[in-house]
Structure 1
Amino acid sequence: MSTYAFDHRRVQTAVTGHANSDHPVILPMEADELDLWRIAHPAYTYWCGTQLGGCGGELSDKRYTDKVCHFAHHPSAPICHRTANGESSADHLFIKRGVQRLLDKQQVRGKVQTRNLGTGPGDAVDVDLPGARRRLRFQLSMLDYRAWRRASDELAEDVADLDWIFAPDTPVTREIAGRHGFCLRVRCETVGGERRVHIGAETHDRAGSVQWTPLDDCVLTPSGLTSPPVETIRLSRPRPKPASFPLQGGFVFAPVPDAKTPSTSPFATEDRHLLLADIRPIDSTVVRALISLPADTEVPPAEHVYRVTDQARMLVLENGGGWAIEANRYVRLNAHDAQRTGLWTPPPGALAQQEPGSVAPQQPTKSTAAAIAETSPAAATTATQSAPSAQPRPLTHISTAPALRDALADIARLRSTTTWEALARRLGLNLSALSEAKRRDLLVDVDSPLSEYVPVLSALIRDGAGGPLPYLGDILDRLGVPYAKHSSKLKRWAVVETGRAFAAYGQPARAMGPRLDLTPAHPLPQGEVAKALRSWRTPQGPTSTRRPSTVVPSRTTAAPTKKRHDDHISGLIAELRGLRPKLSKSVRKRANKAITGAQVWLGEVQVKRVPKRVRAAAQPREHHIRALEAALKAARTDIAGAEFLARHQAEQAAQPSKKVSAPKQQAPTPTVSPRKEQELLASELIRVASQGETICLLDLPGGRTLPDVTLRRHLTSVDRDARPEVPLLSALVTAPDGGPTPFFRQILKDLGLAVPHSDEVLVMIWRREQERAHAAYANPRRPLPPRLVPTAQGSQQSGPSPT
């Protein structure tokens, strides 16, 4: 190679034979190479070809030793406006010739032609294969996405498929690689007076790294232009995924029973369940659509309703081809919440009616609402089918009032009102057949005892004209509201009380305004007031449920909350209080909440204007029993986890180990040692596993103060015993977006486990370890699913056996 500076402003490419020839040549730049070229091709004539964008004039080869050899126009040639003169200016002709040779070699019938797309004759090369109904487009000029879509539509009109092979690296190439897993590329390399064509395969996950193959080694098949790297990618790449967009707000869904999803659906993949479901997004109507769920979980039964709160995406096909929803995590709703969605109702036999004023069988110790809330939709169906001949029992206030109270509280939470007929449909009870006297008695039980800080839910029930119940005054009179029976303000009172209910049960709850005073504008004489008060305090009949209270005629004051005596709830409170000093912070907080709610219901704690206490006072007895029992279960699990951790650490300390002699000068011991932080972390993760939950990284002990490196080290220490029969508790920790933590891969590596390269495989391993942790610390313990991640090659796992 000579050391002089090349002058690339001269013409380097031409065609031979005539001006319209498509046989390109490149003039060698070195003088000695040009001498050999002249000897090899003595009869060549060179032209500034029209297919190069030239003037069509004849060219001569100029030999130089002090600068680059090049072609030059004859003095008589016309003025030439050709702009592309370099080595690559004839690449389209070299590609055309190379593809034609490949067709002849494989004896494939086809037509190859160059295209001028607006910037010159070398913009593209099209290859038509009529036998395979296929077309290839070698795109050599720049192209944006919209122009590419227009060209794709035009080229694919009369063929079955279309392949794109790009010369420049553009956003379009990355778009195609993202859609199909790879993108075909083309480039030319100069060898003497020739430009050799190479075909490359650029994968989506290795942008910028292309595996090149000479065009002569490629094969034209019915599936397109292939090479060994392309064939390998096509066999190993996953099926292209549709475009997706995140969904905000969450939704509920119920699978459609016995619905079949076509296996040829573009949304169907081997690692997902594809179901037809009725879906209700937040603040929207129900729509029937396809939903894609992880295949590592069982197919959700159609007799339940499920909620998806985060990480949902909408999958969309182009040109209106359809859409589906992809969800990775979902939870099953209980019967009470499922019924509120409108996607499920209790089977008719679950609440069979015997007569006007009667309902389905009721347990003597549980209300209708509690029985339904504790029974899943499937369980209700099973119970109906297993006992079709059960004899219904008569309706009682004790069993029906809590169910009605819960239903009215839900209606207030939705900032709505209702009627008796709507309540009957909502609860599946024959309430519409009750007489007016029985309705009054039932509503008195619902709102007893009267408290200034608990709204009267009877105000939410409207008559047919939209006004308050005609006997609302009688109900309030029996509850202890002075002047209510004959007040002219009842309609206004019901409006104010409805607003108080909306405030108390809303989400979030708000402070309630004062209850409307029903004191007349012109008070009665003192004698008549005393007579009215005596009449109000005197029971009228054996079924009267009036509550005596001290009344000041000039100002309405509600009766104080009546104290209740319940040995069962008091015993649960006492037991939970005894365990409270041993609990971790989060479990202790849950226990305090359950105790406070039960004390409010018992009347031992004043309600005042605290929204949480208002709701607790309005809850039925069964609600507080369930809350206390759940808190007790969590407390026992928390204590058992702490004891397990203590035994585990004691066994580790008892095993002989090599001790490194400490230096004489040691740094002062910090306030909380790393070992103590690890113990707290392990205890919290065991508690989370026992409850079948996950925990956000920021909610861990020290999650908001410790650096990620320290948290990773602590999590690795917790999982140091990474044997197959021990789950990885670090998998219970989620990133703020709900996925695995950024350093979960590093934790697997530190534990001597194989580290997957694919994010999909990592998520599958992460979810499986969550299932294993939930099974290992469940009460009772469940069998552990097998671990998906193997041990890294060459590593050994060892550690103490868990107790």
Structure 2
Amino acid sequence: MMPQFEEDTRKVQTAVTGRPGSGSPVFLPFDHDDFDLFMRGRTREDFYCGILLGGCGKKLTAKRYLDKKCHFAHRPPVHCRRTRTGEDSADHLYIGEALHQWLRAQGHPNAEVTYPDMGSGPGHAVEVRFGPERRLIRVQMARLPLATWEKTRVELSGRNTHVHWAYGPDSGLAHNEVEAEGHAIRFSCRTERGTRKVYVGTQRANHSVELTTLDHCRLTDDGIITPHLADTPRAVTPEPRSPSVAFPLLPESVAFTASVPMNAVGTDPGHLLYEADVQPAGSGMMRMRLTFPSGIEPPLPHRLNLIEGPAYLTPLDTAALATGQGWLIRAHSFSALAERTDPRWPALRPSPEPPRPQTRSARQPEAPGSANSRQLLTSEEWALVDSFRKRLAKVARSRGIINWETLIAYAGHAPADFTPEDRVRFLVATGHHRSSGKPVLASLVKLARQRPGVPPFFRDVLVGLGWEADLPDARVEAIWAKQQKTAHQGTGSAAPTTTTVPLTINSDLVGRLRQHLHLVARGHGLIKWSTLLKKARVAASTVAPEDGVRLLVAVDFPYGSDRPVLSSLIRADSQQGGPVSFFEAALRELGWEPSDDAPTAAAAWKTERERAYALVRQSAQGTRTPPRLAEGGAFWTKRGLTRAAVITSVRTSLLAAARRRVSVGWHTLAAAAGLNAEDLSDQIRAFILIEVDRPSGPTGVLLSSLVISTENTPVPYFADILKALGRPHTTRPIELGRIRKLEQARAFAAHEPSTDAPNT
């Protein structure tokens, strides 16, 4: 007999309204009289086990009781793994909502609230970004190790102009903030009149906390100012941590040298204090103090260093201002210049350079242009390097990138003429040493048909140019993006530039974009770029044009006749419409070339759009069939696998998921089969799942119903799987979702651990 699903009996006190991903929380009162008041104007269909609560996204039912606490309950079948269900489980959403409303009243209507996942689901922190100057309020709800807290402070300070920290009741870090700033801002929530009311408090050094509400607070450059802070004058110290006066410095306008570390007493936690010769452009040299985050590489006294990013000049001692000793520069980063002198800062003279060690790492090639490096290349090879440099300079001026195969073809060579080691040698020779301050031209080179992102050889090129060999992958990607941007901007412009953080592009983001664009294609429509980003939960203001190129390439990679170019469905936000400004750059990176049918990118935008409509419609009608066994042979053998082994691995993973009553994504299945999820097209995925379920026939249990897309919806080819197996199918998303749920329930029931256990 098939086991019955039991009703959920957990006392879930919080939910969200509107949709599963909503940030609008509700608290269900315990008492039945309060329940009736709570339900006025609401229906039992309004509540969800919110994604931002760590829930499953399914609907909840409000339960009214006379003899026990009222609570929300899941509707069977119940497969939710939500861990926090009590009255405080949505406090992070209440705090985020309160801050958003308060900032609107403070003149910031476009504030954006996010709830970063710190490894165990949302709810451990609240981040609110607002203002054109990139300000951030961070409410730390969960506990953090002290080292992680200090590292996070440095990272956030480097990406935002002002970071205002606050703390939840269980963070355990407020006393550290008191030590650092003299006070700490605390948030807490209380149940009052059928809801959770947000309070903000000021914690003092004696551990006392004075509470108020946000409507009694105001916003300044120092952050949230409660009435208790406004009424208490702050003590003046020789080196105040939060100065009342701070003058912003123009990026890359101040240089320093002869830096000497000082005793860090009185400076901010996580920062180091230096004394150095400092000269602003067009002014005289002064001896003054500087602070930098302790997580960055210390400045060397024998180098001429340039202050980058946000930096502020702070007065310390009025009596010493005339000599410069009364000033402090608070900066986030700096860079070492290539030369020991610069005409913009004529008064700065670095200390003598210490003797260099005689040994060199085996992996560290000589700097390009040095005498030893020239001995590694023949005169013919140096002529080839010169041709590469000229070609890459043209690519930089056109703000493009180039395939390695195309680069060497211009010089009359084929890929077989170079080993991977040769490629690194030549690209190192075309570049500039790390200390030169010039862009790395190798950042403009990629391999044909490689996945979007950092080329596999770029790390070795960096090592050859003087970077460390053990840089983290994230740091290599950041250097690659910055060097590419610097090369595109050119070195002749003297205008200061703002340092931006490259957009993080992962499979989840790409999957969300593809899913929305598939829906647009099915409706034969277009979508604005800003609207698409909003649907994918990305702020358009954070996506630079170069990030837009990377994003579109990731969505449409690989380019081919059997794949729709979904980015052709995106139009610019301007009233004139047309493609986004970086559409042509993305097309060219994908491998598109002008033809008689589409001689320009504007023509290709229309041609590719019609092709996308046709291919998506063909897929929806089920006429596109998964690859045959023979057609997939090269795909498997290239990876040292067999079709049978992959299908067996995926089936085993799905059986395990059915026993654990959970859904799975393709990253889990691909890893179990020894594959990379990014290498699997929708056709290959559909083929694998069809072969997994083929033995079940037209009436058996469908293991493929356990596979979900990025937003917990059926995979886009679920209808193809149903049709291939001879089962009833449809192209309507709602009906497909209903079929998937029924089949999923059957799979869970059929593979209950008790039913799979052998008889004893």
What TM-score does the superposition give when structure 2 sets the normalisation length? 0.31
Which structure is richer in relative contact order (CA contacts within 8 A, separation 6 or more)?
Answer: 2
What TM-score does the superposition give when structure 1 sets the normalisation length? 0.29
Which one has the largest radius of gyration? 1
